Amino acid sequence: MSFIDEIQSVAGTCKSVNILLWCVFGFGVLKLTTLILRTLAMLFDLFILPSVNYAKYGAGKGNYCVVTGASDGIGKEYARQMAQRGFNLVLISRTLSKLESIKTQFEGQYKIKVEVLAMDVAADDSSNYEQIKQLCQNLPITVLINNVGQSHSIPVPFLETQEDELRNIITINNTATLLITQIIAPIIRDTVKDKKSSRGLILTMGSFGGLIPTPLLATYSGSKAFLQNWSTALAGELSGDKIDVELVLSYLVTSAMSKIRKTSMMIPNPKQFVASTLKSVGRRCGSQERYATVTPFWSHAIYEFVIDETFGVYSKIVNTINHSFHKSIRIRALKKAARKAKK
């Protein structure tokens, strides 16, 4: 090879290296730009954009909102805050006495109509769903909030999970949610189809337990992950029917199910959590890469965003940390149970 050929070869190599470096640089700029845009979008969703106007969902016009798991905690708070927005209510839960008490209180306080239905969805009885259909079929319903849910009593290895607990979780979280939605969604569609300025809304409670695969809560984690894909798919199906579908992701909230009583920066009470949810419907907040999904409470949103942008929800390190966290909860719960047994 002549000296000139060698120079040309080196020049060609340098040109290839320069092209590669520019490609890497361009890719880096693109990734940085999209990260900045996602961060700004999250901050706008959480802190700057005004609260959603529920007039588009028929607030104050005699329309109904159906809430499942409505007698306590987050479900009761959803009912309260939707009543404050002028919706009539259909409340479905297990304990009739609690439902009747809420009915009396809300009808007097908010001057709305409240229908109640007591049923145990864990029974998976077809007559329950027939009662829902009979109660709701002639009502102008525009909103469904799928709040009913069940978790494990304490973190437990999957191989030690009792069959009745496993079946209850799947029946309540999945089967009941799907069957109730099949009943209510057509009613919502028929209510809004001829109203130009009106839309329907279906909210379903998800969980960080479904967002992040969670050892020692495997059945619950799987049931909530199912709701993520189902709800997102449903959003695509119903968008042409003027029905907005959203999965609502939450980390810990003080409630009977979480067994947490004390609020903190990371753990809101039901009032705070529901307020953030209803303010942010239609926005993603922390779920910037997920369609038809909202992580509404500000600290939960930032927590999810950081996990997504660093290790990723399916990474081994996040799985290991999650396992250790729930293992420590299980150990404390077993010690507490042992102390009670001695007394």
- Beta-bridge partners for 145: 67, 203
Q: Give CA–CA dist 291/268, Å, rounded.
A: 24
Q: Give CA–CA dist 53/40, Å, rounded.
A: 22
Nearest Cα residue to 296 out of 225, 229, 246: 246
Q: What angle do CA 223, 39, 300 make, to 5 degrees?
A: 40
Cβ atoms of residues 61 and 88 within 8 Å: no
State the binding site: 207
Q: Give CA–CA dist 30/285, Å, rounded.
A: 21
State the binding site for substrate: 207
Can you tell me which residue has the tokens 């849910």? 149
The four Cα atoms 308, 314, 317, 323 give a dihedral, to 10 degrees, of 120
From the list 54, 78, 220, 251, the catalytic residue is: 220
Q: Give CA–CA dist 175/172, Å, rounded.
A: 6
The answer to whether residue 291 is catalytic is: no
Q: What angle do CA 25, 28, 33 make, to 5 degrees?
A: 125
Cβ atoms of residues 208 and 160 within 8 Å: no
Q: Both tokens of residue 342?
A: 């001695």
How far from 82 is each of 26, 59, 258, 274, 296, CA to CA, in Å?
Answer: 48, 8, 23, 10, 17
Length of the chain in terms of residues written? 343
Q: Both tokens of residue 197?
A: 């300025």
Q: Which residues does the annotation mark as catalytic?
A: 220
